[in-house]
Amino acid sequence: MKQLITPGKVWNDTDGKPIQAHGGSILYHEDTYYLYGENKEKTYAGSGIWHFGVRCYSSKDLYNWKDEGIILRPVEDDIMSPLHPKRIIDRPHILYNKFTEKFVMWVKLVGSEKNIDDWSIQFMGIAVSDSIKGPFKLVKTTRPLGMEVGDFDLYADPRDGKAYFIFGRVHTEIVIADLTDDYMDVTSNYSSHFAQAGPPTAREAPAFFKKDSNYYMLTSGTTGYIPNPTEVGVAELMHGPWKSLGEPCLNDVNKNSFDCQFSSVFRHPFKKGLYIAIGDRWMAGDKFESDARKTNTAVATYVWLPILFSGDTPHIEWRDEWKIEDFEDKMQEHNVAK
């Protein structure tokens, strides 16, 4: 039984196989943690395979993960399906809608009928299931607000269930849009933040969380699979104004977020002040590649690190190993955490 989190090391499930939940997130539901992400088990350099669906794992302790299988299956017999393994899907995020009692998954899709790898065409797929363990059914594709959408996050306020779609408008800015009550679309209410002229300074991969009265997001620069410095932003209101607090990673000698890119932040439901930054080391071994097609993401590892605070300023320090038990218990439970 695993009893430590060891960032950057191979992490096997309870069957002894490497966990395949890349670009991942954790959802806590009914006394169980669920980790899910891109299934890259067939994605080796030159394979032509980008993904093999979305895979899910369950755990009671955040250390030991049981494989619950593929919850959004690839469509192998139709290259024009956005879920074909040779096509690009990225960074699934799932919210539980307490009003509809449905699990709603959003996932980034790429390409067109003329060119399935055309990164200038980026849109969203929305899938629904009655269970976090699936199966999820893709029910629609959409281009929210008519924009080309890049890496993203979802957030639902645990107090009232109001939800938001936070995304990088491709190579320009971060956009925050209100979701409809069923979490199946955006409303017309949105705001724009952290505008940049383009790569590599344009922000992407927002990882959103709230602590006390402040909203935060980690973002990455746009350098492909080559890791770069993370920045953290803060706001008192969801739609801002947002301001940058600079780089949160301390003693990050190579200025590359400890060789990873963060995809989400998990707020522990029972540990006071424990926010876990969840990231991937996308490169194979120690070789950096900007072209994902040349990267063996089937063997990519994970970097999970606690976010610590100096007043209202978050920072992330490297730890070779750490324990959930190092953090103080809360006095009361929360029913659902993102």
> In whole angstroms, what is the distance from residue 105 CA to residue 138 CA?
9
pLDDT value of residue 120: 87
Please report which confidence band the pLDDT of residue 222 belongs to, taking 50, 70 and 90 as the band edges: very high
> In whole angstroms, what is the distance from residue 196 CA to residue 204 CA?
11
pLDDT value of residue 190: 98
pLDDT value of residue 200: 95
- Token pair, residue 278, equals 């969840």
Task: Look over the chain and give the mean of its residue pLDDT values, rounded to a whole number.
Answer: 93
Q: Is the pLDDT of residue 126 over 80?
A: yes
| Topology (CATH level 3) of domain 22-326 | Tachylectin-2; Chain A (2.115.10)
Please report which confidence band the pLDDT of residue 45 belongs to, taking 50, 70 and 90 as the band edges: confident
Peptide bond into 135 cis (omega under 30): yes
Angle in degrees, CA 249, 254, 255, rounded to 5 = 45
* Closest to 164 in 3D by CA, of 183, 192, 140: 183
Strands 173-179 and 163-169 come out as: antiparallel
Beta bridge partners of 94: 105
Please report which confidence band the pLDDT of residue 117 belongs to, taking 50, 70 and 90 as the band edges: confident
Q: What is the 8-class DSSP label of residue 271?
A: B
* Closest to 90 in 3D by CA, of 33, 153, 136, 48: 153
3-state secondary structure of 278: strand
pLDDT value of residue 293: 65
Q: Express each pLDDT in 46-104 by its tens digit.
A: 899 999 999 999 999 999 999 999 999 999 999 999 999 999 999 999 999 999 999 99
Q: Is the pLDDT of residue 286 over 60?
A: no
pLDDT value of residue 337: 38
pLDDT value of residue 156: 98
pLDDT value of residue 269: 96
Per the document, the length of the chain is 338
- Token pair, residue 319, equals 């730890």
Name every residue whose Cβ is closer than 8 Å to that of residue 88 and which is 6 or more positions away in sequence: 50, 51, 108, 109, 110, 111, 116, 117, 119
CA 105 → CA 13, 126, 130, 170, distances in Å? Answer: 23, 6, 11, 21
* Closest to 302 in 3D by CA, of 90, 49, 83, 38: 38
pLDDT value of residue 331: 55
Q: Is the pLDDT of residue 159 over 90?
A: yes
**Looking at residues 290-301, what average pLDDT do you find?**
80
Check: CB of residue 105 under 8 Å from CB of residue 90.
no
Q: Is the pLDDT of residue 336 over 50?
A: no
Q: Does the CA dihedral 124-129-134-136 come out positive or negative?
A: negative
State what percent of residues in the chain have pLDDT above 70: 94
Q: Does the CA dihedral 184-104-77-109 come out positive or negative?
A: positive
> In whole angstroms, what is the distance from residue 255 CA to residue 245 CA?
16
**Looking at residues 25-42, what average pLDDT do you find?**
97
Q: Is the pLDDT of residue 283 over 90?
A: no
Angle in degrees, CA 257, 313, 232, rounded to 5 = 40
Q: Express each pLDDT in 167-219 by its tens digit.
A: 999 999 999 999 999 999 999 999 999 999 999 999 999 999 999 999 999 99
- Every domain of the chain and the residues it spans: 22-326
